[in-house]
Structure 1
C-alpha cells in the first residue's frame, strides 16, 4: 500500500506477489507457534519451578525457536508451490491491496 501512495505504483509483479503471500502466511504461522512456545514456557515455570533452568536449556530453546521457523515455512511452501505453478493468462489483476491465496488462485486459467 505504501508503494501505491508514495510512488503511484499500481502494479506488483507476480514474483513479488508470491513472495508477499509467502511471508504473510509464514509470519502468521510463526505467530501461532510462538504462542505455543510461550505456553510451554509458562507450563514449565509453573509446574516445575525448581527444574525450570535444567529443563529449558539454551539447546532446548534453540530447538524450539528453530522448530517455530521451520514449521511455518514447511506448512507454507506447498501452497506457494502450487500457486506458482498454476497457468495464468496475461491479465493478472486482483481486487485486493495485498496478494492473498484465493485471490491469486482465482486468476488461473483452470478450474480450481
Structure 2
C-alpha cells in the first residue's frame, strides 16, 4: 500500500476511508501521494505499524486537501482507534499532532 520514499512514504494504491458509519462519506487518497510520520528520529520505532501509517497518510491528505487541522487530527485519532492502537499510545500521538497544530 505504501513504500518508503526519502524520509517519508509514498502511497502505491488509492486509500479509501469511510467517515463515521458504514455508507457514510468517504475520503479517497490517490495513489502516489507522499506523506510522513512526523516524529523525532529516536521515537520513530514506537510509532510504526500499519495503523500508524494509515492514520498518518489520511491525516496528511486531509491537511493537503484543505481540512482544518482540528478535523485532520480527529481523523488521525479515529483511524488509530480503528487500527487497534492502545489508548495510551493513541493519546500520546494525538496530543503531539494537536500540539503541533497549535504551534504552527
Higher percent of residues as strand: 2
Task: Return the TM-score normalized by structure 1.
Answer: 0.31
Higher percent of residues as helix: 1
Max Rg structure = 1
Task: Return the TM-score normalized by structure 2.
Answer: 0.34
Which one has more relative contact order, counting CA pairs under 8 Å at least 6 apart?
A: 1
